[in-house]
Chains A and B, each alone.
Chain A
């Protein structure tokens, strides 16, 4: 349902045809997406995105409890937007590489906090042997079998394949067998060649990134997709990026969530030339993603990048996922993020509830573990599925969504 006020605003701005498509479930064209990104009526575009979000998820707002592990910051890539990686002469002074024991211990130290997922992303280390990676996963799995492992971006998979002379499929099969449950969506940046050449010339290409995710999906792994926006890319290049993701999703259905990531300018090579994208950009990008990516179940506002206030605001602009409690985030903090390095579950609930939404803890595969109805109301526990075999996601289906929908 779209209100009279929203109809009026959309008509006024010439967005009537796009609204009609959205309301009738028709797919938006690239031109529509660009038109929406260029529209300056934020509240009207937001109302449209909110309509889609509420139709899919009601008021449910997803989060999980996860721990981040960045085993090394030593990296051979030369991405100009990165503040985390250390290379060459920085390695000795500021570089670190965890031993397997240390890495596993770091994860295990978080036991007992209700954590359900470890998120592992690393630098492209020039010397670590292949065995390090599957062994890391095996040891974590052995020590903490219930913990879901989300590991290695497509960039790392590509690096492993090249360095160790394996096909993408071989790399993914071996890691999958060692315990990898899902893959994060990092390294996608912006697919357009013009942009990649300038900001991450030696990184896996768009085709390679997409091929790795296609392969992972074929092997039954669910993955995430990201977009790093707000640097040198044009708006049509954002649409192009989302189009490639939407096409692959049509083909495989393996993406769980789309996560636009705001570029953070501090302590990296392009930051001086490009200020951090504003919050307005974040809100419209999230809203348009919700409208354009009709085959993605979830759109996530990563609060570490946006800050708590903007992440909460985004819950009215199409977003249904705010990431998680995130213990020990390092990558964005090296780029100047000043938000807390972890949010307590209580704070996360308050933030979601103050937005009139209902917090729903999810697992790594977006299965709902527990719906936290408003204070006084009973909680709705959903038994976790202990299996780590790849499972088709069971998105919060109509009954749960309906239960939590605003009356």
Chain B
């Protein structure tokens, strides 16, 4: 098969997207100046190119989903510079490197009420002449070294103007050239590149001079590489404003279709046999599990899962915990398509909870006999391990009774990256600061075929599991989750469960499993079947496949109390936590709420005995009578 030809710029900010393509068997990479990249794409000399957004208007291109180069605040490498304030400029010299930045400069100046003439000019010369009433636009790595009295960072200005991220560049392809497998290859390369940003910064400093730490911060904290809902909003807003002001022709965005369809042939198995094996606690293989997932009637699955639940928890007790879900920040760089919660850094609703707010929340929790804080948040580019260590120590000192069930694998991975620490050391430091257990969030569907489509920049299946493994080895216990209904198939859900089961065989560190359907309101991803019956089915299949995970938690927060009660008769033995708050799910439209009285009423009414537990699923005040 001939390789796909791709062109990309050699700017530092593109390195994380391109370094992983070196030696690729699918894609051959050519490095060139930005304008040359666009020209090669237009001429058909390459099949795709990492081009400036403005180049999209040159042809009917398809955008590779999920990946882009952007910023949600200061970007450092797209700046206006001059001796005097831009307010008095009558001429601006435009660095010839990128058209998108020209348009951005024009939009920003126009919004400031400044309307100079624009003259294309080589960057160095433009900068040298930016005196008096003249300014210069400086783009790319030259921006790092600019010294001037007045510097306007156009990334910061854009986010200030719109509250949205600015997208500078993305992979654009000639129509029909790029296959779903190619998209996976580009995504794989991006994931690889994002994981080696420190090395890329060092390499760049060695070649070009300058401070490697500064470059590392630039790559990890300034530039964002996701193309999720907010980034798309930013991109669309940019194109709309540019068209409205006549700087670019109007255009419509089109994307490469990235749905891969591959299924292996399945062995013929009998439904009854599979159900019976599951009910008896025998290990199900993938063929049996997929058959159950797709074909078994709801109540048959329910009865089999109920038989398993009875075998594992014969005393008719259903546990729950008094805990509070605290989302410490909604700033996130991952840009997942299914998330209604995250905000870019400059967004008007972006927040990081301060100590006063945390104090209020934890005090309320303790007052309600709470013993746990479930602390999760977005992947904030500015928060390093020290921030978490301080936070944990502060909580533990102030409220010794509180257990910290905190930081999903994705967050731990992110903290290790932004702090430039090995994973093990990161976990060790967090444990030393007070981390008690970790929630299994961010698993979504643990199958990279699905992950790359819905959350391309989230950690991969292997990475997610490697964090869990490292945590388990250090003695931490964790839960595991699955969010289904994102367009995946039975084989993906079963693969997810099989990976969890495999790790559980090795470490025994998972305390419980929780699944819930994707909630699509306020997100850009279209849901597949996320109905109550789908939930009950997936839940029951999970009970049967996860033969080595002791507890299954009912998700009343997403499904409501009634369906959760039904799930207690179809595999679940835990009712989760009381609700003091839950920001992530409610951002996508679900609004159920229960206090401990109401939780206990639901458990009792469904025919069980309600027992409180801690985060290790040890029962409190009822050591099994």
Give A residues with C-beta under 8 Å from B: 3-6, 8-9, 40-44, 46-47, 50, 275, 277-283, 306-310, 312-313, 315-316, 338, 350-351, 354-356
Contact = CB atoms under 8 A, between A and B. Distances in A.
Interface of B: 272, 275-276, 279, 297-300, 302-304, 306-307, 529, 531-534, 536, 559-566, 569-570, 591, 598, 601-602, 605-608
A68 B523 CA distance: 33
Contact of B601 (A275, A350, A354): A275
9 contacts: A5-B275, A9-B303, A42-B566, A43-B299, A47-B300, A275-B598, A278-B601, A279-B563, A313-B532
A370 to B, nearest CB: 22
Contacts of B601: 275, 278
B562 A354 contact: no
Given A278-B602, A354-B529, A5 B560 contact: no
Contacts of A4: 272, 276
Given A47-B303, A309-B562, A5 B533 contact: no
Contact of A316 (B276, B533, B598): B533
A307 B562 contact: yes
Nearest to B558: A309
Given A46-B299, A283-B566, A316-B297, 18 more contacts: A5-B275, A41-B569, A42-B606, A43-B302, A278-B561, A278-B602, A279-B560, A279-B563, A279-B566, A280-B605, A307-B560, A310-B562, A310-B563, A312-B531, A313-B536, A315-B533, A316-B298, A354-B529
A356 B304 CA distance: 19
A280 B533 contact: no
B559 A309 contact: yes
A355 B279 CA distance: 22
- Which interface residue of B303, B531, B605 has the most chain A CB atoms within 10 A? B303
B300 A3 contact: yes
Nearest to A40: B607
- Which interface residue of B275, B299, B560 has the most chain A CB atoms within 10 A? B299
B560 A309 contact: yes
A169 B560 CA distance: 45
B112 to A, nearest CB: 46
A356 B298 CA distance: 9
Contacts of A316: 297-299, 533
Contact of B303 (A5, A283, A306): A5
Contact of A278 (B303, B306, B565): B565
A306 B165 CA distance: 42
B533 A356 contact: yes
Nearest to A310: B562
Contacts of A310: 532, 560, 562-563
Contacts, number: 113
Contacts of A8: 307
Nearest to B598: A275
Contacts of B607: 40, 42, 280
A354 B303 CA distance: 20
A354 B534 contact: yes
Contacts of B534: 354
- Which interface residue of A3, A43, A275, A338 has the most chain B CB atoms within 10 A? A43
B303 A281 contact: no
B304 to A, nearest CB: 6
B299 A309 contact: no
Given A40-B606, A275-B601, A3 B303 contact: yes
- Which interface residue of B298, B306, B602 has the most chain A CB atoms within 10 A? B298
A46 to B, nearest CB: 5
Nearest to B306: A43
Contacts of B536: 313
Which 5 pairs, one residue from A and one from B, show the smallest C-beta to C-beta distance?
A279-B562, A40-B607, A309-B532, A280-B565, A42-B569
Contact of A5 (B300, B529, B561): B300
A25 to B, nearest CB: 21
Contacts of B602: 278, 280
B569 A281 contact: no
Nearest to B570: A43
Contact of A306 (B275, B299, B562, B569): B562
Nearest to B533: A355
A279 B303 contact: no
Nearest to B534: A354
Nearest to A315: B533
Nearest to A351: B531
A312 B605 contact: no
Nearest to A50: B299
Nearest to A313: B532
B562 A283 contact: yes
Contact of A280 (B272, B307, B566): B566
Contacts of A3: 272, 275, 300, 303
- Which interface residue of A47, A279, A282, A354 has the most chain B CB atoms within 10 A? A279
Contacts of A5: 275-276, 279, 300, 303-304, 307
A359 B601 CA distance: 34
A338 B592 CA distance: 11
Given A5-B304, A280-B566, A280-B605, A355 B598 contact: no
B302 to A, nearest CB: 4
Given A280-B565, A280-B602, A282-B562, A309 B531 contact: yes
B299 A47 contact: yes
B314 to A, nearest CB: 12
B153 to A, nearest CB: 46
Contacts of B297: 316, 356
A307 B224 CA distance: 41
Contacts of B276: 4-5
A350 B531 CA distance: 9
A41 B606 CA distance: 9
A309 B592 CA distance: 13
A43 B561 contact: no
A338 B563 CA distance: 16
B563 A313 contact: yes
A132 B29 CA distance: 82
A242 to B, nearest CB: 20
A43 B601 CA distance: 20
Contacts of B532: 308-310, 312-313
